[in-house]
Structure 1
Amino acid sequence: MHHQRLPGLDLLRAFAIVWVMAYHLVSYGPQFGPVLGPIADLGWMGVDLFFVLSGFLVGGQVCAASAAPEGPRWGDYLLRRALRVLPAYLAVLALYLWLPGWRESPGMQPAWQFLSFTANLFPDYFRNRAFSHAWSLCVEEHFYLLLPLAVALLSRRPSLRKSALFVLAVLLGGIALRAWAWHAQVAPYLHVKEGEDWFVLRYIEHVYNPTWARLDGLLIGAALAAVRLHRPAWWRWMTARGWAFLAAGLLLVIAAAPLFEGLVTEAGAVVGFPLLSLGLGCVLVGMASPAILPGRIELPGARLVATLAFSLYLTHKSMFRLVSEHAGAYLEGSNLLVLGCYGGAAVAAGALLYLAVERPGLRLRERLARRHVRPALALMR
């Protein structure tokens, strides 16, 4: 399998970050709610889209490394993952720790939780919410470490049946764990209201954030990557029907949306996440298809936004808060003009982080890779 950049996936990644930013923007500029409408209301789903994309891209790396004739070199894999994530992440974490004015919320979990990527396992949303969006990075880091173990285990005596049962077991395990968390940690507090609804915060802490409850999208993406590598005929059949998969995926996402009415619902917690992830996985197949127009053309700006997505994700909440606090009273005119000011500030910060920190880390990664190039590494982004 040769490395191939898929324009449709760039478009999905760009859409995902804009979706997430729209969701968070309404918290700092409530006037944008009517302008952004349901895009903002469901913007949290952009993180699930990121999960599916990460599962597909990183899953492809792991499967390719495992299938290499000379065997996997997991040290190379881990180094590449570290250089992809850590430079920008640690730079932003330093801002949060050393510049309290950068924080979008006063309270912050201890540094060791962010350094160990366990902030999503021990959250305290009642008191500490600064850099809370790092929860999704924690989930992805855990996935990066667990996936090679799972692939190595499944590769011992590989079989389609064993792999399918493994995927099904993880999905059903997530459903069971979320059902237990809902009834044990959320439902008893549904009617407790003290300042903020306790059940909402408990839902975030016990259902929405933990790694064991949020593997659905990453797993779906990794499964699609395995199909692409190990069952190329299946992948060709699927991508030849790009419009059908794209339509089916959108219908599944639309079907999942009502389950999350107000985000915090039992139906959403239990079955909504796998349904949403399956829908987003079908959308990915459609957008990866060269048989349909969105999958084969590069829309102006999509690749640029996709390239900046990680840096934008790390910085956008702080920038929205800074604009709202220091310039919000001076911003007048149409909502679209004010929206442009917020968005422009976020893009400026994201671009600066990318150029100053993220891109040098990526270039270092490529220099190290060229010193010991091997076929499997050529597949790694």
Structure 2
Amino acid sequence: MPGDTTTAVPERIAPLEGVRALAVTAVLVYHLGAPWLPGGFLGVDVFFVLSGFLITRLLLRELDATGRISLTGFWSRRARRLLPAVLTLLAVVSVYAATRPAEQQLPLRRDLISSLLYVTNWQFVIEGRSYFSEFQAPSPLRHLWSLAIEEQFYLVFPIMVMAVFLAIRRFPARGEALVLVSSCAVFIGSVVSLAVLFDEADPSRAYYSTFTRLHELLTGAGVALLLRPSGGRHTAFARPMALAGAAALVACFFLIDDRGAFYYHGGSVAVCAASAALVAGLTISPGSGVTAWLLSRRAPVAVGEISYGLYLWHWPVIVVLTPESTRLTGPLLLVTRITIALGVSIASYHLIEKPIRSGVVRGHRLDARRTFTLAGATVLVLCVTAFATTVNAEPEPGYVKQSEGLIVPRGADPRLPVIGLVGDSIAASLQEALAKESVKHGHTLVSAARPGCGIGASLLLDETGHPFSSAAVCAERTPRLQDELVSGYHPRVILWHSVRDRTDVRVGDRTLRAGSAAWREQRFSDWDAALGRLVRGGAHVVLLLPAWSPTGSADSTCGGEFNLDPVGCDRPFVTTEHLRRLYTTWAGRHLGDVTIMDLGHEVCPAGPPCPNRVGGERIREDEVHFSPSGAAMVAPRIIAMALTRP
């Protein structure tokens, strides 16, 4: 996070503003979805190294000058520098939250409160990558996890520096060695924890944890310590060191993937080393060399000055200004987003950040007491506002919640014959309506449907080529739950629904592209195994062909449901119609065990695109899952079909 800008050190080092510009530009391009810069997220790592350097340098200079560190002075300066812009952002997002649908307000409220308390990163660690988020617009506050880590660092690090200073003064013979060993232990522990906690399907714990980021902040602190002496800086090495650091960083931006194992298994150390070389070289020799010259030009320095505001505002602008909300696409949307983000950031810098950072506003001096009082009062008001503007918030729908076991209706009569349900979250969205309808027919519904899961034991991949967040758990638990359903409840009929099975699949080290011949055979094999588990007790399977999307067109172009060439369209999934045809072909091989029911013809008999409302009732909750009214509409036909199968 570009929180520490020019006031962090007594003198202004122009090329370091250029480093901030380089880092924030990389993050901006990455968030705009440029496929050619997969490592743009590393701009945050650069900011962490730079922040560790600048803060340590500031604290060391205060120690050298006064022999002590004023914690209240340090924290009040940080508050004046960082809080005004971010509190303004949170006030705007609070108003924005009031305009969101009820089901989106609860996640926004959580993000607002955690952002106000600077614990956003830990909220993300606890929540992981929510399956629900696949069907929701991304949070406009998702990027504030890095600011939370920096604030936690600012809170603790000055106290640690004071403790180190006192230890060295009290134990001059052993103090420095103790500090060196302790610092190395923390650094190594941070790097190791990043590797150990990495999970390709859900890297949240590794990516967002404060401890796994400490080595980046400590790298910057180490650079400040090494450059502390006034002499012996080896200026001859400064220019090549800065050039090598800049070149290595740019290479990392183009080559490192945020979900790939390399970054978590040592790649972050390489990024730290490159950032350290760049910062050290520019600090030692800020006025010479091609790197310093490039980063000292007017444009990068200007972007560096507004980098904090640009980091804060660019992501909300991207989230809010979508093709749907603006009716813009392509270059015009790109230019609009960048222009507005720059405009708001410039206004934030000149109207909010710069005046308050000076410590004097309209003749009133913002000393530590006033700063903390105003900050506390503003945070309290915004907490109340966050709840007030999300008063209509609704809990996340039940069909996105992962259950540990089978779902059996409360009060279910064990003497009644059982109808089973297996499949994905769309199956789960039908669950309640199917259960009510089953009771009307003297049956009880027992569900083994799991949100985010397919029908079998395959490892399903998302659009980035990595496993879905729940993929590994699904591959292990789905077959087990199906076994428990059959052995524990002996269903006479089992309903099967899964659209999740249309994605790329990983088998060993191979990725099978959706729609390819190898993928098709693997799908059939996985479904064969699932069918074997489900019918071994004598049950019959009713396969529900999925309904088309309300946005899917009835054509054969890459945007149409009837395109049957996902590889040619460079898509990691087949269309719903493609999956429907595969299911039909596969079911034809198992006529004695499988009956087909076409949900598509129930919801939209005229074919795609399916209407999202029938008779004024909303059919789909989010263009994917059935709403309660939509589920109630199709449940009677499904149960009737299940109980009158041939």
Using structure 2 for the length normalisation, give the TM-score: 0.48
**1:178 matched to which residue of 2?**
194
**1:213 matched to which residue of 2?**
212
* Aligned 8 A contact 1:96 1:102 in 2: no
Q: Which amino acid aligns with 1:164?
A: L
Q: Which amino acid aligns with 2:302?
A: L
Deviation at 1:368, TM superposition (A): 4.7
Residue deviations 1:251-296, cap 9 Å, x none? 6547867984x32233421312122111111011223323424326
For residue 357 of structure 2, the aligned residue among 353, 362, 381 is 362
Residue deviations 1:171-229, cap 9 Å, x none? 111122223312xxx2xxx5xxxxxxxx1xx20x2011111011222111111122223
1:350 matches 2:350: no
Aligned ranges for residues 282-361 of structure 1 at < 5 Å? 282-288=277-283, 289=285, 290-295=287-292, 298-325=296-323, 329-330=327-328, 335=331, 339-361=334-356
Q: % of aligned pairs identical?
A: 24
For 1:212 and 1:365, how far apart are their aligned partners in 2? 36
Deviation at 1:345, TM superposition (A): 1.4
For residue 268 of structure 1, the aligned residue among 241, 263, 270 is 263
Q: Which amino acid aligns with 1:362?
A: R
Aligned ranges for residues 1-381 of structure 1 at < 5 Å? 3-26=10-33, 33=35, 37-38=36-37, 41-100=38-97, 106=104, 107-108=107-108, 109-123=110-124, 124=127, 125-126=129-130, 127=132, 129-130=138-139, 131-158=141-168, 160-182=176-198, 186=199, 199=201, 202-203=202-203, 205-229=204-228, 231-234=229-232, 236-237=233-234, 239-250=235-246, 252-253=248-249, 260=256, 262-288=257-283, 289=285, 290-295=287-292, 298-325=296-323, 329-330=327-328, 335=331, 339-364=334-359, 368=365
* Aligned 8 A contact 2:85 2:352 in 1: yes
Between the two proteins, the alignment pairs up a number of residues equal to 335
SS in 1 for 2:259: coil
Gaps of 5+ in 1: 27-31, 191-198, 372-381
Q: Greater share of helix residues, 1 or 2?
A: 1
Q: Which amino acid aligns with 1:114?
A: S
For 2:319 and 2:353, how far apart are their aligned partners in 1? 23
For 2:237 and 2:23, how far apart are their aligned partners in 1? 23
SS in 1 for 2:310: helix
Residue deviations 1:325-380, cap 9 Å, x none? 46753457xx4x65433211110121222233222221226985899xxxxxxxxx
Q: Which moved more, 1:244-253 or 1:308-317?
A: 244-253
Q: Which moved more, 1:296-305 or 1:113-122?
A: 296-305
- Work out which structure has the larger RCO, using CA pairs closer than 8 Å and 6 or more positions apart in sequence: 1
* Aligned 8 A contact 2:239 2:291 in 1: no
For 1:292 and 1:243, how far apart are their aligned partners in 2? 5
Deviation at 1:167, TM superposition (A): 2.9
Q: 1:226 to 1:177 in 2, by over 3 A?
A: same
Alignment RMSD, CA only? Answer: 3.0
Q: 1:16 to 1:215 in 2, by over 3 A?
A: same
Q: Which amino acid aligns with 2:327?
A: A
Deviation at 1:87, TM superposition (A): 0.9
SS in 1 for 2:123: coil
Deviation at 1:97, TM superposition (A): 2.2
